[in-house]
Chains A and B, each alone.
Chain A
Amino acid sequence: MIDVITLFLFNIIVYNIPLLYGTTGEIMIEKSGSLNLGVEGTMAIGAVVGYLAGAKCDSLFVACLVSFIASGLVGLLFSFLTVTLQANQNVTGLTITTFGVAFYYFIGNALSNSEDGWPKLSGTRLDEQSQAIHIPFLSDIPVIGKALLSHGILVYLGVLIAVFMWLYFKKTLPGLKLRAIGENPGAADSLGVNVTLYKYVHIIIGSGIMGIGGLYMGLNMGGTFEGSNCWINGYGWISIALVIFANWSPAKAILGTLIFGFFNTLRVQNAALAYTFPDTLGWLIKIPSHFFSALPFIITLIVLITSSLTSKGKSGEPQAIGRNYYREDR
């Protein structure tokens, strides 16, 4: 019984950390006043390119680095089109998603059909390095040790990124300037902040973070490419929803990931829970799994509506979000 609960907690983290990467990456971008709807595509490109490079060099570090760079380049494309060329953010972002997911399938199918085939993960050093690390003593604590402290390095990295980003926004001068740009780029510009540079840097870094999340998903799926199922599997979209749920705060994003992750895990494990606790949780089996899949979006829709009904002041939504900044229109 305790095993079921431990496994449940463990799975919440293992399967949903990519959401944290996607969400923190998107928060960084949105804080600069840009709405990037290309999370799904950015993650897909980072995943496939990073995985292939990692498999080639047999190193997790290379995989992460290349994921970050590949997705960062997608971020560069987004910045170039929307910041320099003033293209519409919604359209550019959505096209990045179409393009990125198509890129994933295209590369994957081309490689799978080639002579060498798709590189396998099992048994490689890359696989070994991405496995859970056993921390002496800590990992041995009952329940908590297994559920929270027996994970791969990328899980901890994701949490670290969120914490550092939270500190960056709250405590540092560049973080303050970034938030100012998101609220009112004209005002920030007139105070001598280089709006263009700030937007570029943060969009690129944010996209790079998403890429590592995509890589994590690929590694978590055992690195197998399936012609019909994308590794990212809608997590990019849930991340966009989670940004709203977390009220644009990287710290709340950790909490949000756990909550959305809870529903996600409930979807997969409802049968196990209902079987273990037939009296209290037997009803779980009756709830269709699609309801749990839709739940993040339903919750976000409700959050969107209720937060617009109540006072605007508390919302962390950057005021200039979605609008391009063109100096001469100021």
Chain B
Amino acid sequence: MRKFHLVRRADASLKRTLIYYAIGILVSLIIGAVILAALGINPLEYYGKMFTIGLVGNRYGYKSVEGLLKIFVPLLITSLALSLSFKMRFWNIGGEGEFLIGAITAAIVAFNSSGLPNFVTVVLMCLAAMISSGIIGVAIAALKVRFNTNETLMTLMLNYIMLYVIRYIGDTKADWNFFLREDSERPIFGTFPESAFMGGIPIGKFKLLWAVIIAVLLTVIIYVYLKYTKQGYEISVVGDSSATAKYAGMSVGKIVLRTMFISSALIGLAAALAVSSAGTISETITNDVGWTGIIVAWLSKLSIPAVFVTSVLISVLQYGCQAAATQYPAIDVNFADLLQGIILFSVLVADFAANFRLMKKEEAK
């Protein structure tokens, strides 16, 4: 009946995948250009502004880089963490919720830290955030392992429960609520004491925050962990087939629990670094990294070096749209999300084209 059918390519090569991906991204940018042109804006100029994130001809260019890095660090770490759990086919889409738990815990430490040395405070914030987020991750993993509860839906619910928790904290004036500024009638999140601010290495006017260095180091560590350690190997076996893993004598439950702890704890760490870099907490502190991280992980096909590159590109896209918005008021900052969506759709098509091919029925037989 049908003349063609689809066959998975046995020879899927990295080169072909990269070429197809590049075509996919190019097509998305062209679609974006058409939208821009329809609104009467020169797409080349806009893209130029976007990709240079407002650096060119800007005396305060270093501020742009700092702003970009503030988007980049949490996104990179969250994407790395999500890749870990996706590699075992554990659908942790609770990045937002885990991030918020980490952020709230880190803020609790920060607001009560006056008097402590800076280094100690920041380390304590990170540890507290990692433990609290990690515990939630383990709890969800345990339910999945023990009772096969649907982890996608559980983590989804977690995101929204945590969103309302932070909104509650941010809206409620009360004696116990040390998160808010005392000198304000309206509920506003307070600023951390000096001791809880992320330090950094000054390079001229620019300050390279420790968070950036930690994020880059983490990328290397996770790469090595997945590629060269026994635990990393176990993750990939469980992802390929948990039946195989069981047959090989691996304790699948233990691997899932351990990996989910690491994954959630890393998201907690990302949150601690983010609040410490910002010097405060807010309802929008996640900057949607829990969602964007999923897109980044997927665009990268869960490859760690690719996650790094994709995080840079998506951060440039997002920060670039913010930077360009000052000059093009007609173009909403949501253009970044719109373009991000189009890119993912195109890349999904490209990925398919790189991995499958159409065959004539007769030929297949």
Interface residues of A (CB under 8 A from B): 35, 37, 77, 81, 85-88, 90-92, 94-99, 101-103, 105-106, 109-110, 113, 234, 237, 240-241, 244, 288, 290-291, 293-294, 297-298, 300-301, 304-305, 308-309, 317, 322, 328
Residues of A within 8 A of B291 (CB): 94, 97-98
Q: Roughly how many angstroms separate A293 CA and B342 CA in the complex, as a whole number?
A: 31
The answer, yes or no, to whether B285 is at the interface (CB within 8 Å) is no
Are B337 and A99 in contact (CB-based, < 8 A)? yes
Are A105 and B352 in contact (CB-based, < 8 A)? no
Q: A81-B349, A91-B298, A304-B157 are in contact. Are A110 and B332 (CB under 8 A)?
A: yes
Rank and list the top 4 A-B pairs by shortest CB-CB distance, nearest first.
Answer: A99-B341, A102-B337, A294-B164, A308-B149
Q: Roughly how many angstroms separate A291 CA and B154 CA in the complex, as a whole number?
A: 18
Given A86-B356, A290-B164; 13 other pairs, CB 8 A cutoff: A90-B294, A95-B341, A95-B344, A106-B334, A106-B338, A110-B330, A113-B330, A241-B153, A288-B168, A301-B154, A304-B150, A308-B143, A308-B150
Q: A301-B161, A304-B154 are in contact. Are A95 and B338 (CB under 8 A)?
A: no
Residue from A90, A99, A234 with most neighbouring chain B CB atoms (10 Å) = A99
Q: Roughly how many angstroms separate A95 CA and B148 CA in the complex, as a whole number?
A: 26
Q: Which of B91, B149, B161, B340 sits near A297, CB closer than 8 Å? A: B161
Residues of B within 8 A of A308 (CB): 143, 147-150
Are B160 and A95 in contact (CB-based, < 8 A)? no
Q: Can you identify 28 A-B contacts, CB atoms within 8 angstroms? A: A37-B93, A77-B345, A81-B345, A87-B351, A87-B352, A90-B294, A91-B294, A94-B291, A94-B295, A95-B295, A96-B341, A98-B292, A98-B341, A102-B334, A102-B335, A102-B341, A103-B338, A110-B332, A237-B156, A240-B153, A294-B164, A298-B157, A304-B149, A308-B143, A317-B150, A322-B91, A328-B7, A328-B8
The answer, yes or no, to whether B348 is at the interface (CB within 8 Å) is yes
Residues of A within 8 A of B349 (CB): 81, 85
Q: Which of B39, B93, B161, B345 sits near A294, CB closer than 8 Å? A: B161
- Chain B: minimal CB distance from A288 (Å): 5
Q: Which of B158, B335, B337, B352 sits near A101, CB closer than 8 Å? A: B337
- Chain A: minimal CB distance from B170 (Å): 9
Residues of B within 8 A of A37 (CB): 93, 152, 156
- Chain B: minimal CB distance from A256 (Å): 15
Are B153 and A87 in contact (CB-based, < 8 A)? no
Chain B: which residue is nearest A309 at the CB level?
B147
The answer, yes or no, to whether B66 is at the interface (CB within 8 Å) is no
Residues of B within 8 A of A86 (CB): 352, 356
Q: Tell me what chain A mostly uses at the interface: helix, strand, loop, or mixed.
A: helix
Residue from B93, B152, B341 with most neighbouring chain A CB atoms (10 Å) = B341
The answer, yes or no, to whether B165 is at the interface (CB within 8 Å) is yes
Residues of A within 8 A of B158 (CB): 301
- Chain B: minimal CB distance from A291 (Å): 7
0/1 string, B315-354, CB within 8 A of A gives 1: 0000000000000011010111110111011001101100
The answer, yes or no, to whether B254 is at the interface (CB within 8 Å) is no
- Chain A: minimal CB distance from B365 (Å): 13
Residues of B within 8 A of A91 (CB): 294-295, 298, 344, 348
The answer, yes or no, to whether B172 is at the interface (CB within 8 Å) is yes
Interface size on B, residues (CB 8 A): 49
Q: Roughly how many angstroms separate A70 CA and B364 CA in the complex, as a whole number?
A: 38
Chain A: which residue is nearest B352 at the CB level?
A85
Are A35 and B152 in contact (CB-based, < 8 A)? yes
Chain A: which residue is nearest B170 at the CB level?
A290
Residues of B within 8 A of A113 (CB): 329-330
Are B335 and A106 in contact (CB-based, < 8 A)? yes
Residues of B within 8 A of A85 (CB): 348-349, 352
The answer, yes or no, to whether B171 is at the interface (CB within 8 Å) is yes
Are A305 and B149 in contact (CB-based, < 8 A)? yes
The answer, yes or no, to whether B167 is at the interface (CB within 8 Å) is yes
Residues of A within 8 A of B172 (CB): 288
Residues of B within 8 A of A234 (CB): 160
Q: Roughly how many angstroms separate A204 CA and B334 CA in the complex, as a whole number?
A: 26
Q: A99-B337, A234-B160, A294-B164 are in contact. Are A92 and B149 (CB under 8 A)?
A: no
Are B143 and A290 in contact (CB-based, < 8 A)? no
Q: A90-B294, A94-B295, A304-B154 are in contact. Are A291 and B340 (CB under 8 A)?
A: no
0/1 string, B71-108, CB within 8 A of A gives 1: 00000000000000000000101000000000000000
Are B93 and A110 in contact (CB-based, < 8 A)? no
- Chain B: minimal CB distance from A81 (Å): 5
Residues of A within 8 A of B7 (CB): 328
Residues of B within 8 A of A301 (CB): 154, 157-158, 161
Are B161 and A298 in contact (CB-based, < 8 A)? yes
Q: Roughly how many angstroms separate A298 CA and B162 CA in the complex, as a whole number?
A: 10
Chain B: which residue is nearest A237 at the CB level?
B160
Q: Roughly how many angstroms separate A322 CA and B151 CA in the complex, as a whole number?
A: 12
Chain B: which residue is nearest A301 at the CB level?
B157
Are B149 and A99 in contact (CB-based, < 8 A)? no
Residues of A within 8 A of B292 (CB): 98
Q: Roughly how many angstroms separate A328 CA and B8 CA in the complex, as a whole number?
A: 9
Q: Roughly how many angstroms separate A91 CA and B161 CA in the complex, as a whole number?
A: 21
Residues of B within 8 A of A300 (CB): 153, 157
- Chain A: minimal CB distance from B319 (Å): 16
Chain B: which residue is nearest A329 at the CB level?
B8
Residues of A within 8 A of B91 (CB): 90, 322
Residues of A within 8 A of B147 (CB): 305, 308-309
Q: Roughly how many angstroms separate A237 CA and B163 CA in the complex, as a whole number?
A: 13
Q: Roughly how many angstroms separate A301 CA and B152 CA in the complex, as a whole number?
A: 11
Residues of A within 8 A of B356 (CB): 86
Q: Roughly how many angstroms separate A113 CA and B149 CA in the complex, as a whole number?
A: 47
Are B161 and A109 in contact (CB-based, < 8 A)? no
- Chain A: minimal CB distance from B200 (Å): 31
Q: Roughly how many angstroms separate A86 CA and B349 CA in the complex, as a whole number?
A: 10
Are A90 and B345 in contact (CB-based, < 8 A)? no
Residues of A within 8 A of B298 (CB): 88, 91
